[in-house]
Amino acid sequence: MISGNVQKLERSLAALLHYGTLFASLLMAAGVLSGVSFHSTTESVASILMTVGVGFVILLPVCRIALMALLCAVAGEYRFACIAAVVLMIVAISCAVGLKLGVVSA
Amino acid sequence: METHATFVLFFLALGCSVLGGMLGMASGMFIVPALTGFGHMDIHEAIGASLVSVIACSCASAAPYLRGRLTNVRLAALLEIGTTLGALSGVLLVGVVPVRALYLLFAGILLVSAWQMFVRRVEPAAPCGVKPGRRSAALHASYPDPATGREVPYVVGRIPVGLLLMYAAGLISALLGIGSGVLKIPAMDTALRLPIRVSTATSNFMIGVTGCASACAYFLRGEIVTSVAAPVALGSVVGSIAGAHILMRTSTRHLRVLFVSILVLIALQMLLHGLD
């Protein structure tokens, strides 16, 4: 990959991770603050906000790999695009296996 | 969840993360023992909450490293095959490994971390025998040295060994809910012979994906209690930023012995849980 493409990739990934973490943190903070307001009506809203925020945090690295695969493919770096796609596939298999195995908590 | 419990979780995670940030470590190493020890939580629930906080901290701190051009993105993508395969194995093993074994494994990892902190990291020697034109040449890169402002080129060596160690790191991460920097950084320093700044940045970059491979499975089957994970993740993000600022302003030389003692004490606590 030529230097300009590497820098473009690094800048894009940095922006995704920075703004993604900020957005997820704001969602979780809104959920936590709604949850401590003692109103039963806001409790369900708080729960939804916290679930979406936590889900967004977990999805952020998936989005990062997908963006890497896309940008590498666009730059003609098919080897690294394939590597990123393999990582995405392993994450997907891990999710499927985890779901199939079911709950393990006491 | 009650208001005071939410605040306790937030400040507990904040404290753990400040401590982790001051040591240049992920907070997972402290959050799981804190949640199981002080919060009396089930270890699997604690691991789920810890994984979310580890991912959040990794993503939050990755951006400055990327902008500083310290992260080797291509190498990270390749090594993530090892870490995610390890995490997949961990997901398969998580219901099989007894809880007592998890505590004992955690105690072992904490003791290894304490040892690593005791013997400082040294800049690795450049790898020998890496010839231009080899397949790994696409992974060689350079980083800007903040002291001199010059570009420092480096080569990447012994990738198969690195991949094997990354597999172990992914496995441990999925089983214990930690970032596994304790295995990733030595793998990069010793096996791949990366400069310390590059290995720290690249390891941190990979922690999010490693954690995500197992956290997705935990989340989809409803094992991540979001009312616990959200305040823990928030506290961790705020704490990691504060810890990094403290790290830049203080000398850790005098704190090193104290932190090693804390790690050994937590290891003993986990050991007692495991032998109980």
Partners of residue A99 in chain B, C-beta under 8 Å? 217, 220-221
Residue B249 has a pLDDT of 64
Residue B133 has a pLDDT of 47
Chain A contact for B146 (CB, 8 A cutoff): no
Chain A contact for B213 (CB, 8 A cutoff): yes
Give the residue with greater pLDDT, B243 vs A98: A98
What is chain A's Cα-based Rg?
18
Domain residue extents for chain B: 3-121+151-275
Chain B contact for A87 (CB, 8 A cutoff): yes
Rounded CA gap, B211 and B201, in Å? 16
Question: Mean per-residue pLDDT for B162-179?
Answer: 87
What end-to-end distance do the CA atoms of chain A give, in Å? 49
Cβ-defined contact of B229 to A47 (cutoff 8 Å): no
Cβ-defined contact of B214 to A98 (cutoff 8 Å): yes
Rounded CA gap, B184 and B237, in Å? 21
Residues of chain B numbered 229-258 and touching chain A (CB < 8 Å): 229-231, 233-234, 237
What would the two tokens of residue A1 be? 């990959």
Q: Which of B52, B77, B80 sits opposite A57 (nearest CB)?
A: B52
**At B38, is the pLDDT very low, low, confident or very high (cuts 50, 70, 90)?**
confident
Q: What is the pLDDT of residues B86-103, one digit of tens each?
A: 999 988 887 788 888 888
Chain B contact for A63 (CB, 8 A cutoff): no
Residue A100 has a pLDDT of 81
Q: Which of A7, A40, A70, A105 to mutate to test the interface with B (most CBs of B within 10 A)?
A: A105
Residue A19 has a pLDDT of 95
Q: Which of B59, B92, B229 sits opposite A17 (nearest CB)?
A: B59
Give the residue with greater pLDDT, B32 vs B127: B32
Q: What is the pLDDT of residues A2-59, one digit of tens each?
A: 566 778 888 999 999 999 999 999 999 999 888 776 666 667 888 899 999 999 999 9
Question: Mean per-residue pLDDT for B19-24?
Answer: 68
User: Could you tell me if residue B181 is left (phi over 0), alpha (psi between -120 and 50 degrees) or otherwise beta?
Assistant: alpha
Mean pLDDT, rounded, of chain B: 81
Question: Mean per-residue pLDDT for B31-52?
Answer: 85
Q: Which backbone phi and psi does A103 adopt, to 5 degrees? A: -70, 140
Q: Which backbone phi and psi does A19 adopt, to 5 degrees? A: -70, -30
**At A106, is the pLDDT very low, low, confident or very high (cuts 50, 70, 90)?**
very low
**At A83, is the pLDDT very low, low, confident or very high (cuts 50, 70, 90)?**
very high
Give the residue with greater pLDDT, B52 vs B150: B52
The percentage of residues in chain B with a pLDDT greater than 90, rounded to a whole number, is 11
Please say whether the beta carbons of B188 and B202 come within 8 A. yes
Q: What is the ipTM of this complex?
A: 0.89
pLDDT at B83 over 90: yes
Q: Which backbone phi and psi does B152 adopt, to 5 degrees? A: -110, 110
Q: What is the pLDDT of residues B230-242, one digit of tens each?
A: 999 999 888 887 7
Instruction: Tell me the three state secondary structure of residue B58.
Output: helix
Rounded CA gap, B135 and A19, in Å? 35
Please count the residue pairs, one from chain A and one from chain B, whose beta carbons lie less than 8 angstroms apart.
Answer: 184
Can you say how many angstroms the Cα of residue B78 is from the centroid of all Cα atoms in its chain? Answer: 18
